[in-house]
Amino acid sequence: MRLVIAHCMVDYIGRLTAHLPMAPRLLMVKADGSVLVHSDGGSYKPLNWMSPPCTLVETELSDGEFEGNALWTVTNKTGDQLRITIAEVLHDSSHQLGIDPGLVKDGVEAHLQVLLAEHIETLGAGYRLVRREFPTAIGPVDIMARDPHGVSVAVEIKRRGDIDGVEQLTRYLELLNRDPLLAPVKGVFAAQEIKPQARTLATDRGIDCLVLDYDLLRGVDDPSQRLF
């Protein structure tokens, strides 16, 4: 990756036109060929950019206001151009970052499913696990369990519970309750956060809601030590 901090102006020419007046900015050239123009604000989003595949040609300006400085011309496969006129370079460095291992998310639905299966008593005293990924004709139910009275309980798990999740569980319940070996089947909608609309819909359909505490399930949080 090449990082250049420079006083520059930027023009995008192609299917649309855009102009950034002269100002100090960060120019980022990635190994995949992409070129991004950042300011010191705007969070992670660049002010302008060119996605690969594209080519970068650097030329020295020989006349005009910016004589002796550089013009970057970045062209993509459709012919659009990102033209970066550099008046002064404040920093220019290149770094080999290597292959990125990728983002490993913590607390995704798969993790929550494993943890809830291991701590099935989170659903209530006397609950027992039947199996994870219980198969149905329209897809697997995250967890199938039985309550203390032996009643089947289908659990749908989400990180953030919204109406779509409730609808999904409703479809599972309609199908499962047609099976005389399982019926009646109750539903539990479990998530780290459940939106009010989803809770209202679940309650209206006789589905219980359960807010999951990820740290507590992992055993890294002790409620008895909390101040609040």
Q: How open is the CA angle 16-17-22, to the nearest 5 degrees?
A: 150
Which percentage of the chain shows pLDDT scores above 90?
A: 78
DSSP type of residue 51: P
The owner of tokens 């897809």 is 139
Nearest residue to 32 via CA among 77, 1, 10: 1
Mean pLDDT of 158-172: 95
Determine the Cα–Cα distance for residues 113 and 134; give it in Å rounded to an integer. Answer: 12
Would you identify the CATH topology of the domain 2-94? Protein Yojf; Chain: A; (2.70.180)
Q: What is the pLDDT of residues 56-70, one digit of tens each?
A: 999 988 766 666 689
CATH number of 109-222: 3.40.1350.10
Q: What is residue 72's three-state secondary structure?
A: strand
The answer to whether the CB of 223 falls within 8 A of the CB of 216 is yes
**All CATH 2.70.180.20 domain ranges in the chain, comma separated:** 2-94
**All CATH 3.40.1350.10 domain ranges in the chain, comma separated:** 109-222
Give 42's pLDDT tier (boundaries 50, 70, 90): confident
Q: What is residue 208's three-state secondary structure?
A: strand
- The whole-number pLDDT of residue 193 equals 93
Burial 50-71 (b: 16+ CB within 10 A, else e): beeebebeeeeeeeeebeebbe
